[in-house]
Structure 1
Amino acid sequence: MDLSRPQLAMTPPLPTREQLPNALLEQATWVGWRRQTRGGDETKVLRDVTGGDASATDPVTWTTFDIARAYATDGPADGVSYVFTDDDPFVGVAFDACRDSETGVTDDWAEELIERVSNAANGGTFSRLWCGDTTGNDSHSEADMALCSLLAFWTAGDAQQIDRLVRDSRLSRPKWDAVQFSGGSTDGETTIERAIAGTSD
């Protein structure tokens, strides 16, 4: 979950406590981040409030929301991020290029997808699969299909959105891009195709 400083163009302002759920504010799993250009591409580097690099897998580099926000406000960081862990009940899904940075208006497709996920009766199943838990499935491939089937319904069969979301999940693995079939299709492409074909709106 990334939010940026107000002086950065085309980015939303730093969040306030009033804008975030108390359940997130209670977690000491926040870090700062700073923009850097590497190999010609802009990326976000996690920053420890002590001035060093932070890590999504090292709790020593995490802190509270208030401390992370103060660190970003004072200048050393461009924004704050929430670190999702195996010990918390939260799931995060990244939606790229779906919000007007000037007006704050979210695209209709993203709003619709958020509403579908929030109201879904099988939200618990989605959360487990998104976090990489394959329990209840005979194989990782079967878990991939289960997640893709849910996403196929929620995205109205948008193959590109399904692919991007699967890559953001903890089920993601190198096999997803491996060519598995004689026609040249990858494991991921075939899984998505089958999920869409087997899902009715």
Structure 2
Amino acid sequence: MDDRTWTSLERALEYVATGAADGVGFVFTATDPLVGVDLDDCRDPEAGEPLEPASSIIEQLDSFTEVSPSGTGYHVLLEGDLPDGRNRHGSIEMYDQARFFTVTADHVDGTPTSINERQEALEEVHEEFVASEESGTAGTVDDESPNTEARDQPLELEDEDLLEKARSASNGEKFDRLWRGSTAGYDSQSEADMALCCLLAFWTGGDHARMDRLFRQSGLSREKWDEVHYADGSTYGEKTIERAIDATDEFYDPSAAVSGNTMEVGVDSPFESYVQNDTSRPKQTYLEEKNRLLEHRVDDLEQTIVEQREQLETLTAERNELRTLLEQREETLEQIREQPVDDHSIRRRMKSVFRGG
């Protein structure tokens, strides 16, 4: 995210009013004291009322709260330090840096109109709804996979050791190609990005932050990774990692490796099982993702065709103009050849021709 493009809220709103942008967003950084709590799928858009546990969280945090862009959730903005540990569970997410937040300014009645310092309340909410093993969000699907226990085990392997294991696995050659930036065998780089992220999800135990750090070291890393591509303010990289984790049903388990389990050498990425016509849930995820990518590619191609057609029309007009000018000059030269004139007149008329009249 380029901080040179950031500005004040007033100027941002003025810019949106011109129609040049769809909305306003805020970027959390390590240098500001702000924390954003994102509560998804917890608001009845027709009744305009929060569902549990959102209503309790909003009341407990007691700071500026707005309706999210979708109308089905809330943003709570407050001052504090985000506690250590994971920052998301189910439909609850907390961010204090490196995150773009869309801002609607659709203030929720009954909540403060100011952003308040709420460190103690933040820690309590984080402990109860995010960090705790028993935490959950009523009425929503938990973002943890069936083997949550394996994912929650921290991997003590250093990055280089982890990468070496990935390269030495049964699909290590495939991992190494993707790691070096090769997209061979994939219809687009986006699909290659997804394949590498699925492999990283397995080897890191679904560790979002570590996957992001490792991907940035790979040959597939590019500026698009940090571009905001979604209405909720998520970047392309964040969504790719989330989808890869959701599509991964098995994760590397060091304890299983000790007992001789074949997972020690690394199962194939779930992404590859899609290609092998596996009938499991990941195949549906892949097809949906591929359809989305194809739609983007079609849109890009259509835009390219429009641009090329406009360029062709411009070139055709220029060619016709040059052809007309050439024909006019040839007619003038022919007239000069047919008329007996003295040397002085010839020189004068020749100059006139080559000066365009």
Q: Which band: TM-score by shorter chain?
A: 0.3 to 0.5
Greater relative contact order (Cα 8 A, min sep 6): structure 1 or 2? 1
Please identify the structure whose Cα radius of gyration is greater. Answer: 2
More helix by share: 2
Task: Give the TM-score, by structure 1 length.
Answer: 0.44
